[in-house]
Amino acid sequence: MSFKKVVVFPAKLENLAAIDALIKSTAELAGLDARSIYAIRVATEEACSNIIRHAYQGIEDGTIECGCYSNMDSFTLVFRDSGHVFDLTGVPSPDLDSCLEDRKAGGLGVYFIKQLMDEVSFEHIPGTGNVLTLVKYLTPDSEKSST
Contacts to other proteins by CB under 8 A: 13-14, 16-17, 20, 35, 38, 41-42, 45-46, 49, 52-53, 96-97, 100-101, 103, 105-106, 108-109, 111-112, 115-116
Instruction: Give the C-alpha separation, 139 to 144, whole Å.
Output: 10
Instruction: Give the C-alpha separation, 32 to 138, whole Å.
Output: 7
Instruction: Give the C-alpha separation, 12 to 34, whole Å.
Output: 27
Nearer to other proteins, 30 or 43 (CB): 43
Report the nearest approach of other proteins to the CB of residue 109 (Å): 4
Report the nearest approach of other proteins to the CB of residue 63 (Å): 17
Nearer to other proteins, 13 or 85 (CB): 13
Q: Is residue 118 a contact partner of residue 144, using CB atoms and an 8 Å limit?
A: yes
Report the nearest approach of other proteins to the CB of residue 111 (Å): 8
CA-based torsion, 76, 139, 93, 106: positive or negative: positive
Report the nearest approach of other proteins to the CB of residue 2 (Å): 28
Nearer to other proteins, 46 or 69 (CB): 46
Q: Is residue 106 a contact partner of residue 94, using CB atoms and an 8 Å limit?
A: yes
